[in-house]
Structure 1
């Protein structure tokens, strides 16, 4: 009995597959037309989609280890009379996991968009902001997107008005940044074009820049890496730099006082070479004491100044470049891939439509049987 049930089930499955194949065969004309339409759409999209090139670089940030600070320099410093490990200014570690937030920060993007680059068909370097606001003309797909999906935003912009008065220069005085509409649009574009991936397992970073021109992508990748290094360096050496500046100011002030005390002692001795009175000796001892105190302070500050300079050098991060930036030769948007995707979507869509239609017809027939 069980074998008979299995046999019936197998026969029903075969009938279903045959029926499915027959349905697709009978509607082959519909499937071919649908695939052809999607193929034409795929060719149009492939031709209208602008080329994009991606330039990337891979670097390894060298993070300092407090237990092995300066290596042999610590021994040399100890021979000079001071200990680097006793310094009050330590380095502030910045986790590489925070680096992507630096790349997406407004100051970083503003600095990058205002950096001059060599653009195709431009005689002299211009900024990314100037090119996309004043020179670049939108493509067909960009216009379609702007006046279809982005139409509400266009209408809203017209109603509110376009305030392009730059407020970025006021950041240092008012404590925050106000962007113009154009600046914000270019910033959003950069946010899409630049990415920084952190491989926390192997400890390396991959910075990628995608633009419409291969050489421009390489230029921007190099500049973005340079800016990232500057931002990280500024954070890492902020404390040590502040201490170095403070010690330099004290050192310069005490250097003047030391020279004054030295000159006063020398002048007194020159004028009183043959004087042996107790008053003269007392005054000489006082000047000698002032000179010695000024010398001790000056000498101590000189040692601290050297310590601070070494600390700044130590805290400065080093990036080892594993993969330098190269000009990409092939664009990211492959026309063949786009065409294959559209053909696949057309075939899947046509088959899905036929199967769905047949399923609905079957449900309708079963529904009518109960009336």
Structure 2
């Protein structure tokens, strides 16, 4: 049996290094490796149990796009008004948003600015908007909190002794500002950018064919489900408006022309009726000519009004046809268990770090012992 008390210098000074001797060197110092593993294991358990929890709420919806095709006779009607157009389709059948654009919509500044004004009940606290909530100090695990406390300890002592005053947490009101001469340019404050960064990190969307999956992560399970519902509703509204925007513009155009045609039709009807009432009985050739002209004006106004009424109805039908439909494939539910922290992964990670740290410590100790023994042998 090999000598378990063999020195480091004896192990590494020979022509060949015996692996068994190296094993015994580490084995005799195994207590250091065990202490390192146990210490980091305890740290991992503390971090896993003090890290703020996060809940994920997910909804899956099935998208059913509108029919492809043109907007019927809208181009002919627009042509009556003297407007020339080369487009083949008014709607978004083939011109709708691609699914890879959904994340860009959710990350856009106007969308996030509108979203951060939504208010929620966070636990027993008063209702807070997302803007107010994310400007509060973020909860941290035990060691991060302890580090912050030690960093602020001198200031806290000064505050306790009256040499300094505690800073009050001021939450500025969220106001969307724009440049005076350029209304389309937004001016974002530092607080707004911070909140937007939080929302971008917590909202994610993925699309697999016609199924859209939206996930929202929040520290409160109820807020996670509520925010998920609000985000998907806003997204559906945005997609519907985008897909039918051109058709709605055509619908508005036809509606305005119909209103004008109705005024002209009623005017022509009144003029014809007034003329006939004032020229009852035998009429002169001039009066007959005037009646024929008024009748022609009336018939023309009526035909235009009737055509526009039909086209308006067709345009309304087309808007409904082109409006995309979304149905819940997997409805959102209040998450039962937190998605973060993942205790098993954290503990495993810290245990592995402890093992590596312990092993490196043993290697360092062996190197120190080797050079120390080497120095002693030279002095002797």
Question: TM-score, structure 2 length as denominator?
Answer: 0.74
Distance 1:263 1:169, change over 3 A: farther
Q: Distance in 2 between matches of 1:228 and 1:309?
A: 23
Alignment of 1:229-308 (within 5 A): 229-308=236-315
Q: Distance in 2 between matches of 1:214 and 1:194?
A: 14
Task: Note the alpha carbon deviations across 1:257-296, whole angstroms, 9 max, x for none.
Answer: 1111112212222232313321221111111011111111
Q: Is 1:347 paired with 2:355?
A: yes
Alpha-carbon deviation of 1:126?
Answer: 3.2
Q: Which has the higher helix share?
A: 1
Q: Is 1:316 paired with 2:323?
A: yes
Equivalent pair of 1:167/1:177 in contact (CA under 8 Å): no
The equivalent position to 1:105 in structure 2, one of 102, 108, 120, is: 108
Q: Distance in 1 between matches of 2:354 and 2:100?
A: 42
The equivalent position to 1:170 in structure 2, one of 162, 165, 178, is: 178
Alpha-carbon deviation of 1:336?
Answer: 4.0
Q: Is 1:118 paired with 2:126?
A: no
The equivalent position to 1:188 in structure 2, one of 188, 197, 222, is: 197
Query: Between Structure 1 and Structure 2, how many residues are aligned?
Result: 322
SS across alignment from 1:59: strand
Structure 2 unaligned spans of 5+? 1-15, 73-86, 152-169, 374-380
Q: Distance in 1 between matches of 2:371 and 2:149?
A: 41
Bigger Cα displacement from structure 2, 291-300 vs 350-359: 350-359
Equivalent pair of 2:48/2:342 in contact (CA under 8 Å): yes
Alpha-carbon deviation of 1:87?
Answer: 7.5
Q: Is 1:129 paired with 2:131?
A: yes
Alpha-carbon deviation of 1:90?
Answer: 2.9
Structure 1 unaligned spans of 5+? 1-12, 75-85, 150-161, 366-371
Q: Distance in 2 between matches of 1:364 and 1:267?
A: 124
Distance 1:357 1:277, change over 3 A: farther
Equivalent pair of 1:38/1:345 in contact (CA under 8 Å): yes
Question: TM-score, structure 1 length as denominator?
Answer: 0.76
Alpha-carbon deviation of 1:184?
Answer: 1.0
Equivalent pair of 1:258/1:295 in contact (CA under 8 Å): yes
Match of 1:368 in 2: none
Q: Distance in 1 between matches of 2:108 and 2:148?
A: 26
Match of 1:138 in 2: 138
